[in-house]
Amino acid sequence: MIAPLRLGTRGSALAMAQSGQIAEALTAATGRPVELVEVVTAGDRSNAPVHRLGVGVFVSALRDALAARTIDFAVHSYKDLPTAADGGLHIAAVPARQDPRDALVARGGRTLAELPPGATIGTGALRRIAQLHALGLQLEVTPIRGNVDTRLARVLGPDADLDAVVLARAGLARLGRLDVITESLDPMLMLPAPAQGALAVECRADDQDLVELLAVLDHAPSRAAVTAERAFLATLEAGCSAPVAAFAELAEGETGDEIYLRGAVISPDGTRDLRLSRTGTPADAAEIGKALAAELLDLGADSILGHEGHTGPGTQQFGSTE
C-alpha cells in the first residue's frame, strides 16, 4: 500500500477547505492518497492587525515543516507568500484561480453604492481601506481581523455591529458561502491584491518525483497572471504598510493570448491613487509586471510608498484575507 502524501495546512476552516480540495484533485488525477497535517502558524496565534504581524506570518511554519520533512507539500493562499524566492522550495503548481474580485456583504442586501454616508464597513486589508476612502463615499471604514465566519458575524450575526464587510470572493466560494455576497466588486472600483484568489502548491525543490507529480495541478494561465502581479509587487519593494493592488487577465489577442495587467498604488487615506495598465504576452509575464511598476515609480509611487514600512524586495505581506 502506498503511503499517503502529507499535505501541510493551516487549521482555519478556509485553509482546510482549500487544502482538502487540492488533496482531492491530486488523488483524482494521480491516484495517490493524501492526508492533511495541520500546522499552526504565528498568524493563527495572534490577534494583532495583519499588516503589523510581519512578513510571511501565515507561511513560515509551513515552510519550516517542509524543511523538517514532517510534511511533503503545502498549500498557501498565494498572496500570503513573500515575493523573495526560497531556494530550497519550489512552487510546483498554481491551480486554476478562483474569481479574484473582492466581495461586499452588507445588511439588507445593499450594494456599495446603496450604503448611506456614515455606514460602517469592515475589512482587514489596507489595500481595501485605501480604495474605499478613494471612492469618496463617506463611509466609516473599520479595520477587522478574524476568520471568515467571525467577519460575517459582524454583519449577519445576532450581535452584528457593522453595516458591511469586504473580503475576498474566492474564500467565500471555497467555503460554499457565495449566497451571502450582496455585490462582487468590479475591479475598476476595488482592484484586488496581487495573487488574490490563487493558491500556491509548494514542495521541496530536491523532491523531483513530487515536483513532477504536483505539476498535474498547474494551470498555465493562472500562473502567468500571478507571475505578472507578483513581479509588479516585488519591483515596487512595497512594505506591508503600503496599499498596492494588481490584477492580470489573459485574453485572446490578434496574434495569440495577451496579458492585460492593471496596477495601483494608493495612499492609505485615499487622497493619492496612481493607476496604470500594460499588455504583453504570457511568456513575458514577469517583465510586464516589472515594467508597469517602473512606470508607476516614475509617476511618484515611491512618494506614496515612502520610507516608513519600506523593507526591501521580497518582504511584502498582505495577510490571509481571503
Residues designated as active site: 80
- Give the integer Cα–Cα distance in Å for 80 and 58: 7
Q: State which amino acid sits at residue 127.
A: R
Task: State how far Cα 30 lies from the chain centre.
Answer: 28
